[in-house]
């Protein structure tokens, strides 16, 4: 029998200090489906993380012609998935126990990495990130607890495309996935959201939001002259199983329907 994957935690203790999350914040997250948490990394960590992610994105974009015509999905952002698998300098942060513990406390279950993604909105581009839920695209069962840490690597504002959320929408069920490349009007997809007031979350660099994978969220276009830079780290609860749905992270990895997603691709990251 194969030994279980050991918890990956090869950081100096200081980097794994616990973030002081309160019971009130956990209750607010579970009520609203999202929460803003300030200064989850120190200024020195932020500099290191931003440089690591920028360098990884640069390296992985090297062979792409920046002037090629972009399809409507590519106009939303530059997206690089699972950087932690290819860039140890990014893995050091993605696997951070400090983040994993917050995710586990918000979910109420031990956390595993699902995947990460760098999400860079290019300056002066017209595309917004349409209102959508996340978990509906993922080959996961069950889908109720998954959570995303969205960390601003630079200040994010309404002008450059900060995240917005529709509170309470993580409790809605059975909504068809939005096609992000050809988004339908939100009220057509989810008439239940009519009348709900979006909450925009501008963030200082080094601060983050966590959102439940079923919470509707959106980000506006980047109307500034600078790149909007964020990294999302996405967690799933232990014992999440594979549904067989198409997804770039799990395709051709040998999983069968019903398998627990518990290989070295999905390390445990909470205590």
Ligand X SMILES: O=C(O)CCC(=O)C(=O)O
Element (H, E) at 79: strand 78-81
Q: Give the shortest CB-220-to-ligand X separation in angstroms.
A: 9
Per-residue tokens: 261: 């997603």
Element (H, E) at 106: helix 97-107
39 vs 45: CA distance, rounded Å: 10
Residue with Cβ nearer ligand X (7 or 167): 167
Q: Which of 135, 138, 217, 235 binds ligand X (CB under 6 A)?
A: 217
Q: Is 165 in the site for ligand X (CB under 6 A)?
A: no
Q: Is 219 in the site for ligand X (CB under 6 A)?
A: yes
Residue with Cβ nearer ligand X (230 or 261): 230
Q: Give the shortest CB-159-to-ligand X separation in angstroms.
A: 14
Site size with ligand X, rule: CB under 6 A: 11
Per-residue tokens: 240: 């999440």
Residue with Cβ nearer ligand X (46 or 118): 118
145 vs 30: CA distance, rounded Å: 10
Q: Which of 118, 119, 166, 178 binds ligand X (CB under 6 A)?
A: 119
Q: Give the shortest CB-226-to-ligand X separation in angstroms.
A: 15
Residue with Cβ nearer ligand X (201 or 230): 230
Q: Identify the CA nearest to 249 among candidates 84, 108, 122.
A: 84
Q: Give the shortest CB-256-to-ligand X separation in angstroms.
A: 27
Q: Which of 32, 101, 122, 134 binds ligand X (CB under 6 A)?
A: 134
Residue pair 218/209 in contact by the 8 Å Cβ criterion: no
Encoded one letter per residue, x for contact with ligand X by CB under 6 A and - for no contact, window 55-84 reads ----------------------x-------
Q: Identify the CA nearest to 201 among candidates 240, 163, 145.
A: 163
162 vs 218: CA distance, rounded Å: 8
Q: Is 150 in the site for ligand X (CB under 6 A)?
A: yes
Residue pair 72/49 in contact by the 8 Å Cβ criterion: no
Q: Give the shortest CB-121-to-ligand X separation in angstroms.
A: 6
231 vs 83: CA distance, rounded Å: 10
Binding interface with ligand X (CB under 6 A): 77, 119, 129, 134, 148, 150, 161, 217, 219, 230, 232
């Amino acid at each position: 029998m194969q030994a279980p994957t050991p918890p990956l935690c090869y950081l100096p203790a200081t980097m794994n200090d616990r973030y002081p999350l309160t019971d009130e914040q956990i209750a607010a997250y579970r009520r609203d489906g999202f929460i803003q948490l300030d200064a989850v990394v120190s200024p020195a960590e932020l500099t290191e993380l931003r440089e690591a992610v920028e360098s990884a994105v640069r390296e992985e974009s090297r062979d792409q012609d920046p002037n090629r015509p972009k399809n409507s999905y590519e106009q939303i952002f530059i997206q690089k998935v699972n950087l932690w698998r290819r860039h140890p300098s990014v893995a050091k942060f993605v696997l951070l126990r400090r983040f994993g513990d917050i995710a586990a406390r918000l979910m109420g279950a031990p956390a595993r990495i699902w995947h990460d993604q760098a999400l860079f909105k290019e300056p002066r581009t017209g595309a917004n990130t349409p209102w959508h839920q996340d978990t509906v695209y993922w080959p996961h069962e069950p889908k109720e607890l998954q959570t995303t840490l969205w960390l601003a690597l630079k200040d994010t504002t309404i002008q450059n495309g900060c995240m917005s959320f529709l509170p309470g929408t993580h409790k809605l069920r059975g909504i068809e996935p939005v096609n992000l490349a050809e988004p339908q009007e939100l009220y057509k997809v989810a008439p239940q959201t009519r009348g709900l007031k979006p909450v925009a979350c501008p963030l200082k660099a080094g601060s983050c939001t966590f959102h439940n994978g079923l919470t509707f969220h959106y980000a506006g276009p980047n109307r500034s002259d600078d790149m909007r830079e964020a990294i999302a780290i996405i967690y799933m609860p232990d014992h999440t199983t594979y549904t067989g749905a198409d997804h770039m992270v799990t395709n051709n990895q040998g999983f069968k329907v019903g398998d627990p997603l518990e290989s070295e691709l999905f390390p445990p990251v909470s205590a």
